Structure 1
Amino acid sequence: MDDAETTKKVDLYVIEKVRQLREANSISQEALAERMGVSAGYIGQIESPKYRAKYNLYHLNHIAKIFNCSPKDFLPQEPI
């Protein structure tokens, strides 16, 4: 497995974890974007496989504050 494939798997894992938490808390993409201070379509781009957008560590830290959890809750327990 090459590094690009591994990176993609990790990014997809993180995106899915955030999406699951967002939906479990009945928060729309637009509402999360507003609370994060990003454009309304940004979360949609991250959650869509058509775009290359992804969360960075700053985003994950901010999302953890919004959901009152740890940034590590969005990461796999073991390397992918």
Structure 2
Amino acid sequence: MAVNVKSDIETYVIMRVKEMRESAGLSQSELALRLDVSNGFIGQAESSKSPTKYNLNHLNKLAVVFDCSLKDFMPEKPFSK
């Protein structure tokens, strides 16, 4: 039985970062280097099977990398559950 190890909001943020990474033409390894995280971290974060996720410090660095606001990683409305 598959258990979702990430919440809806965590999954949303991760998928938003992935979209931005791909739009910028960055590989997972290139983004990992810019965030100063291990080479496999981005792949683990993007995997639904891994509990790895971005924290606020990661999101701040990502906003610098993508020259955007922290708000750009968040949904318009909160998830209700």
> 2:66 aligned with 1:32, yes or no?
no
Count of residues in Structure 1 that have an aligned counterpart in Structure 2:
75
CA distance in 1, matches of 2:18, 2:10: 12
Shift of 1:77: 1.3
Q: Please report the TM-score for the alignment, with normalisation by the length of structure 1.
A: 0.90
Q: Please report the TM-score for the alignment, with normalisation by the length of structure 2.
A: 0.89
Q: Secondary structure at the match of 2:7?
A: helix
Match of 2:16 in 1: 17
Structure 2 unaligned residues grouped into runs of 5+: none
The residue type equivalent to 1:35 in the other structure is: R
**Higher helix residue share:** 1
> 2:2 aligned with 1:8, yes or no?
no
The residue type equivalent to 1:13 in the other structure is: Y
Deviation digits for residues 41-67 of structure 1 (CA, Å, limit 9, x no counterpart): 000000001100000111001000001
Q: Point out 4+ residue stretches in structure 1 off by more than 4 angstroms.
A: none
CA distance in 2, matches of 1:26, 1:76: 23
User: Equivalent pairs: percent with the same residue?
Assistant: 48
